[in-house]
Structure 1
């Protein structure tokens, strides 16, 4: 008899997991507290990022975070607050931000990003989907020599890892990206990266899953879990009870609310990111990160998205206009032909990215619960790692050989 599997969370990780589980022949149900048309999986930069092999918890981030703490429009803003979970997470982040731990994290982060890119390309080639996918690389654009040197040091690490990376002058960037009137000193160009339009993919994937028997319970909140002999037997929501054989936790920033019900510790802080969509022609054809401002730029289907900032301020969807203005100002400063209207800024959206203290996702079974597979904590790489995580989860549950070593992502790891 086929197992009944419930996936808690309907973002990119949840729907990707549902896809690979239904391919294995399981009965799959997805529960999400939203209507599944907003949030981080819809407002992100749409990057598939082998270039992002350095975790967020890197040396120097603590110093920058303290400096930026007093500037609400800074690229990385941490709102100080007396919250025990936040304080424990901050301490774990500090412990993780060492050179040795970053070096150890590079290979597993790169491996899972490359797997994610391969799986997106497999999906694109299938007859089931017609989503937007472009493999044009990623430009790291910088204004100062100091930042340029820092970015090229990372680029050289990328070359050592087998990626194709080039250090370009401002003129060379202009040749790649003409008619944008760039105000930069140069750029580091990763050929490895690709980009998408997230909302298009999410809509297609959900439609495909519904047609293929996956059940969706939207606008529904998990309120309790029945546990017997270290196994979840029933999921209780505000609308129904569901008997389960296996459970996948893919609830993003809300995941700790679920694991606490099981007595498990899954340190996560919500990292809020903002995005602005510009529909007039910007002439931007290659995705870029504006290094000093930490703003991501993506040419999407019918518009250009300017996204960015990391705001650690708890679970809330409050739009901070100062942070929106900072993204718009950076965009117009680097791309001098770009104009972002007040209306476009007023239409800005935000999403909450689940950040682990060490910058690595949680993927795998917890030792404390036999039929729970955790799939969360992907931070800014959630979009890039969606299919890879879904594939790995399906392999875990089907007891198949894993596509890659996931020891670094163990949900019970200590900080």
Structure 2
């Protein structure tokens, strides 16, 4: 039976949800406070990463954040500020960062990433969006030190045990794989299971397809309030109109927690800011890489190479810290000595906020408080990778069908 569905949020997760829900014949409206041309879904590294099996909330992360708190150029930065919501989230995050919880999360993260990789492929094969970059060249974890190698080797062993394709490369093998660019690294671990894409190409195409399929896209429209009656959301009030719906999907990224507060719900969530620089000149880089000691990502996209990175907790804003941008440029030079990022490219830096949950796992599932509310947010650094999988799971939840995988670990009600 067709349902009238409102999706709050027009990022990769919200649009993927609209894609699969519209395929099932539902009447779908997407509402976003922006014009859907910027933000995390546009400036991310474009990775589709089954290899990223370790959640952001892992042992020692909060300690690292506190240690780096007064160095605004550090890869993981928490701006000193008095913010009770941030304190509470930090406590939950700390409680989640145990070896036991990480061990439980690993197979779940792997499963949803593999599901999403296959769905990206299915979307391309369908022809709905026309042609778009989707390449499976894997991901290189480049390292300079023995410490970094041993850390990633442990992750690689876990990934291999789970059936993911991974191999080690020495300098000669690395040079053979990337012959057009000099790489200053001792070696790499190559996750052959990974893929990549160009977000700035994919996003306009999925918006265009959804419009052609009858999905209503409401841009530059902010959700101001949610009115409830009984145990249901009765009305969505925005800056332009009022809406009613059978089902409401909250997929508003880093702003999801603020919207949840309008219906007296506590959704532990913080915006983690990332930065990206595009270089439209030839770089010789053909395979995506993470520069381990620089803690940044490099992606050969369609028409340019993207250098991205950092995790900054400083509130939901788009303020650019120049020292963080310069850290990305110098980090790239450290591994690719022949690649220069010029002043104009640095000045064109973009930022985006990733929604980070209390444990680095997404919130996917129905609300226990409101019968017609479903959450699809909190994906941290894996939002792009997990977009299609989340959209598929959301459509299965709404239609009360068997979900493609066990989603208990993604419960919006989990706390520690």
TM-score under structure 2 normalisation? Answer: 0.99
After TM superposition, give the deviation of residue 179 of structure 1 in Å: 2.3
- Per the alignment, residue 70 of structure 2 pairs with 70
Corresponding position: 1:303 with 2:268: no
- Per the alignment, residue 227 of structure 2 pairs with 226
- CA deviations on 1:129-161 (whole Å, 9 max, x unpaired) are 211110000000011111111111111111111
After TM superposition, give the deviation of residue 177 of structure 1 in Å: 0.9
- Per the alignment, residue 4 of structure 1 pairs with 4
**Cα distance in structure 2, aligned partners of 1:391 and 1:243:** 23
**Cα distance in structure 2, aligned partners of 1:70 and 1:172:** 40
- Per the alignment, residue 369 of structure 2 pairs with 368
- CA deviations on 1:224-264 (whole Å, 9 max, x unpaired) are 11111110111100110011110000000000111111111
**Cα distance in structure 2, aligned partners of 1:391 and 1:275:** 28
Correspondence 1:4-153 to 2 at 5 A: 4-129=4-129, 130-153=131-154
After TM superposition, give the deviation of residue 31 of structure 1 in Å: 0.2
**Cα distance in structure 1, aligned partners of 2:64 and 2:144:** 18
Q: What SS does the aligned partner of 2:262 have?
A: helix
Corresponding position: 1:342 with 2:338: no
Corresponding position: 1:162 with 2:143: no
- CA deviations on 1:291-336 (whole Å, 9 max, x unpaired) are 0111100000000000000001110000111000000001111001
Correspondence 1:194-273 to 2 at 5 A: 194-273=195-274
Corresponding position: 1:332 with 2:330: no
**Cα distance in structure 2, aligned partners of 1:26 and 1:248:** 13
After TM superposition, give the deviation of residue 3 of structure 1 in Å: 1.4
**Cα distance in structure 1, aligned partners of 2:65 and 2:189:** 24
Count of residues paired in the alignment: 415
Q: What SS does the aligned partner of 1:370 have?
A: coil
- Per the alignment, residue 319 of structure 2 pairs with 318
**Cα distance in structure 2, aligned partners of 1:193 and 1:365:** 30
After TM superposition, give the deviation of residue 63 of structure 1 in Å: 2.4
The runs of at least 4 aligned residues of structure 1 exceeding 6 Å deviation read none
After TM superposition, give the deviation of residue 413 of structure 1 in Å: 0.7
Q: What SS does the aligned partner of 1:369 have?
A: coil
Q: What SS does the aligned partner of 2:156 have?
A: helix
- Per the alignment, residue 394 of structure 1 pairs with 395
- CA deviations on 1:200-221 (whole Å, 9 max, x unpaired) are 1101100000011000110000
Q: What SS does the aligned partner of 1:168 have?
A: strand
After TM superposition, give the deviation of residue 2 of structure 1 in Å: 2.5
TM-score under structure 1 normalisation? Answer: 0.99
Q: Is the CA contact 2:62–2:90 (under 8 Å) kept in the aligned structure 1? A: no
- Per the alignment, residue 385 of structure 1 pairs with 386
**Cα distance in structure 1, aligned partners of 2:103 and 2:69:** 27
After TM superposition, give the deviation of residue 110 of structure 1 in Å: 0.6
After TM superposition, give the deviation of residue 409 of structure 1 in Å: 0.1
Q: What SS does the aligned partner of 1:311 have?
A: strand
After TM superposition, give the deviation of residue 170 of structure 1 in Å: 1.8
Give the superposed CA RMSD: 0.8
